[in-house]
Amino acid sequence: MIRVSCMRRQLGIGMIEVLIAVLIVSIGFLGMAALQARALSTNNSAMARSMATVASYSILDAMRADIVNAGTGAYNGTVTANSCPATGTTLASAQLNAWCSQLGKALGAVASTTGAVNCLAAGPTSVDCTVTIQYDDSRAGTLGTSVGSSAQKVTTEAGL
């Protein structure tokens, strides 16, 4: 008889059990939301690195089309995305202006977005070039960057 009366008292779920279950589920949902936010942040950072790589290959392809001027250093120098050089009368100045605009659109038209080209003639028909792109990746947080720095640098070396 004693057993039957104990079982009848334990038939329902108490309010405390429901509150604890809701608390555990809500903590899980908060963790999933934080994970989603971090994934979006790192995805934006990866996209910016990809865009910088595409931009570096873009100027390298332009220099391949104008290899004589690339060998003489017509493309050498640094462009800043918030103050692109004027389009001059040469193919090199037009290509550098277009590249600078591309950097501004892809990585932000700010003073911290820069692109540098350094080409040296390695022979009569070959040119060795280094393209360095720097940009601010502060939207990605500090994951994958040095502590306290959001500046990113993509360097591409190629032979034309």
Quote the strand ranges of 18-101, DSSP E: 77-80
> Which one, of 79, 81, 49, lies nearest residue 152 by Cα?
49
Residue 23 Cα distances to 12, 17, 37, angstroms:
20, 10, 21
Residue 126: per-residue pLDDT: 83
Percentage of the chain with pLDDT > 70?
A: 86
**Cβ–Cβ < 8 Å for 129, 138:** no
Residue 32: per-residue pLDDT: 95
Report the range out of 42-46, 53-57, 63-67, 110-114 with the highest average pLDDT: 53-57
CA pair distance 99, 116, nearest whole angstrom:
11
pLDDT above 70 for 2: no
Q: What is the pLDDT of residues 96-152, one digit of tens each?
A: 999 999 999 988 888 889 999 999 887 777 889 999 999 988 766 555 444 546 888
pLDDT above 60 for 4: no
pLDDT above 50 for 81: yes
Q: What is the pTM of this model?
A: 0.74
**Average pLDDT for 84-105:** 90
Residue 125: per-residue pLDDT: 77
Which of the two residues, 1 and 119, has the higher pLDDT score?
Answer: 119
Q: Reading across the β-sheet that carries 77-80, which strands appear in turn?
A: 77-80, 114-121, 127-136, 151-159
> Which one, of 103, 115, 122, 116, lies nearest residue 160 by Cα?
122
